A and B are shown apart, each in its own frame.
Chain A
């Protein structure tokens, strides 16, 4: 399927990259053939990002050589890499919302027509040409804030191509996309390589890697452990290469869903901008020992629904926790009534990054009698409570006095999971509890949620990871444009079908 001409676009030889005390990459060898899609797979922390930063000129390796198009190079900055034809599409988009598509694409390399004026006509025609090449169409005058996630990603890709890149690095590009958008992305990438470009695709979604790649390189603990091709390996084999052992599988359960309703909400409606509600008449019950999954494409009201349940945003409708009506209660009172929350975005809503861990675990708990001395913080008790969470949830940290930013994403997440669960809530609202964390940490978080469920907790699980949703949930409700459009049985649904409901292609009345 590739136009494998045999010549080499990128070659990394014996790369070693060290940070103080950390061997981030060593003995890394990677050969990327021109005109192919080359996947790099590995757990978080396996060294994929470091390696790509080496290639993109953001890090300089201590050992080894990098060659591009057969010539050895030593990039000092990303600008060097860009001028050598390498472009990077970051996982988190770097777009200015208040500018148009066109303005975003040319930002930083505007064509000039003398006198400091921007030659918009020239920009427009070259961008149109690029869009034709990759078979996509975007309204160049639309504001980026109006675009969906998939479209934004295409803007990023066009931005990179506009700068003359013929080697594209895509860092976890599918993490934010729904199945249909993923297919579109892959079609775009295929057209790119047909045109002679080279794509380096970083992912840990094995099915995608197997379906889209020409070549696959597996990384583990800082080094490349295997080179293979989709024809020569299957999914379990690839997973085993990646983690060095068997993947954790979604385990069955020995307990059954109870009869007591622990969380009940009725007709939750949240007003949105321009009069269109972001959540409309959402009504659900979650029983004890039940995990109710909320599926949906991001931005379909999940965040607003959770915010409404927690009293963080104004909403109509009623919320009951353990039979107690908390519809008009403050956020703090709702937590006291038995709610707990693992937030969507651990950095934005969860952590005080520069504060020590013990203060992070104290956040929201400083009124607990054992953690206070009257009006004062009982610091020793808070440190001890934090150490308990660190111990029980396996947070890897030097100690409880380490600032939160020093932890890896997975450990930050475990800390937040611990903070939410240690109070033994009756209802857990878990939003993307394992987003962006590695397989080991993911399994640990899942185990904790299962254990708490078996002990009687009700869980409202919001996730974009369909495997997680299907694997954990007892029931799945689909949120589409703010409405619950379907309730599905995870035992019979497939990821593809679920994707259909999430994008509104399929509709079934909520049962």
Chain B
């Protein structure tokens, strides 16, 4: 008798996959398809929410589509995406080794204060001055993260607990440092800040001041993330430790070293989150000048981007776009908070669909492998 044909396959993924594709390509196709479908479903749910709250979803979506046709808004999208790229990358480095760095918030605010203060205290030629500030920011972020790293590596204290706590401690420390030492007194000015950076410590904006050149630094960090995590031996060990810590340890990869390094690198990247504000907008740290909550936004962007460099870039741009559309929505009579709701629904839908799709894909991959290897069965 002959080999049985795979004639009863019911896997929905068969529509978009062929056996000739490599497993890696199949994963990519499935991820993209599931993410697009997730965004579409999320838009549908958002429309429903708008409708039941008495707003016209057609108006809202028309406004959003119009925003997408507006070049200024697209530039604004990139500008708004910039800090999200940093924070999402910082979170993703942790995720790649199964560490949940919730402390990006505290790390970047701490780095913002320290680097603002350091940057305004020195006089250096322009490119070196900026570089100096960036290095200080990376070191400050890494230093703050290293507390959680040491606690995890040497005392096995879970990083979720320690980084959450360090966020609170960080805010208090920042406030104390700022109020006691770094605050610049200007009569009659309620918007208190650290001393302004001199021109040599600033990064220019382009396109009529709409896009900070820090955006290009963010692109550089994304490329660096790709090379380090996906191409380097360190990244291989990092991903191995994340995928199966016992197996990594068993082959001699030191869990302690990997925890320390990944947490510190994550904190270092987190240190760059406020650089757009510091170097291109406010030129100082200030409780009202420096944006907050970007560390938490980074978690959602990393989730949406599936921790992949391209995914993070696209997810940050999507969030940046929706943020820039929210003002226009407000003008059109749609509450801008719908944007936050949409962002949350998108993340949920994309994550759920991806997890479901990957599970299906894994089943399919296993079956295909067995099918290719099944010996001819003679009845």
Contact = CB atoms under 8 A, between A and B. Distances in A.
Contacts of A351: 244, 247
A241 interface: no
B9 A20 contact: yes
Contacts of B186: none
Contacts of B369: 397-398, 402, 406-407
Contacts of B375: 221
A334 B11 CA distance: 46
B377 interface: yes
Contacts of A367: 233
Nearest to B373: A396
B234 interface: yes
Given A27-B379, A332-B252, A363-B240, A21 B368 contact: yes
Interface string A337-375: 000010100001111111110010011101100001001
Interface in B287-314: none
Contacts of A334: 252
B206 interface: no
Contact of A406 (B254, B366, B377): B366
A19 B236 contact: no
Nearest to B371: A21
A266 to B, nearest CB: 23
B72 interface: no
A451 interface: no
Contact of B367 (A21, A221, A377): A21
Contact of A26 (B234, B368, B377): B377
Contacts of B250: 310, 312, 331, 341, 343, 349-350, 364
Given A335-B252, A356-B23, A348 B231 contact: no
A403 B365 contact: yes
A116 B236 CA distance: 51
A442 interface: no
Interface string A9-36: 0000000001111110011000000000
B189 interface: no
A375 B233 contact: yes
B370 interface: yes
Contacts of A355: 239-240, 243
A330 B236 contact: no
A402 B234 CA distance: 23
A500 B256 CA distance: 42
Interface residues of A, number: 52
B244 to A, nearest CB: 5
B249 interface: yes
Interface string B235-258: 111011001101111111110000
B4 interface: yes
Contact of A348 (B5, B240, B246, B379): B246
A372 B248 CA distance: 18
A409 interface: no
Contacts, number: 137
B22 A401 contact: yes
Interface string A123-155: 000000000000000000000000000000000
Contacts of B364: 20
A467 B6 CA distance: 40
Contacts of A354: 243, 362
A355 B377 CA distance: 30
Interface string B340-379: 0000000000000000000000101111111111110101
Given A372-B233, A375-B234, A376-B232, A20 B251 contact: no
Contacts of B367: 19-22
A165 B45 CA distance: 47
B97 to A, nearest CB: 12
A18 B10 CA distance: 12
A405 interface: yes
Contacts of B239: 355
A180 interface: no
B253 A376 contact: no
B175 to A, nearest CB: 40
Contact of B368 (A20, A375, A408): A20
Contacts of A402: 23, 365, 369
B243 A23 contact: no
A349 B246 CA distance: 5
B233 A352 contact: no
A42 interface: no
Nearest to A310: B250
Contacts of B373: 396-398
B24 interface: yes
A104 B322 CA distance: 51
A375 B235 CA distance: 10
A223 interface: yes
Interface string A418-437: 00000000000000000000
B8 interface: yes
A356 B24 contact: yes
A62 B10 CA distance: 14
A354 to B, nearest CB: 7
A396 B250 CA distance: 25
B374 A364 contact: no
Interface in B213-269: 227, 231-237, 239-240, 243-244, 246-254
A364 B379 contact: no
A332 B247 contact: no
Contact of A353 (B5, B244, B254, B374): B244
B121 to A, nearest CB: 35
B308 to A, nearest CB: 14
A22 B243 contact: no
Contacts of B379: 26-27, 223
B26 to A, nearest CB: 10
A222 interface: yes
Interface string A305-316: 000001010000
Top 3 nearest A-B pairs by Cβ distance?
A21-B371, A364-B251, A332-B252
19 contacts: A20-B8, A20-B368, A21-B371, A26-B379, A333-B252, A334-B252, A335-B252, A343-B247, A348-B244, A351-B247, A352-B243, A375-B232, A375-B233, A376-B231, A397-B369, A401-B24, A402-B365, A406-B370, A407-B369
Given A332-B254, A363-B240, A363-B247, 8 more contacts: A19-B367, A21-B6, A21-B370, A22-B367, A348-B247, A349-B247, A349-B250, A402-B23
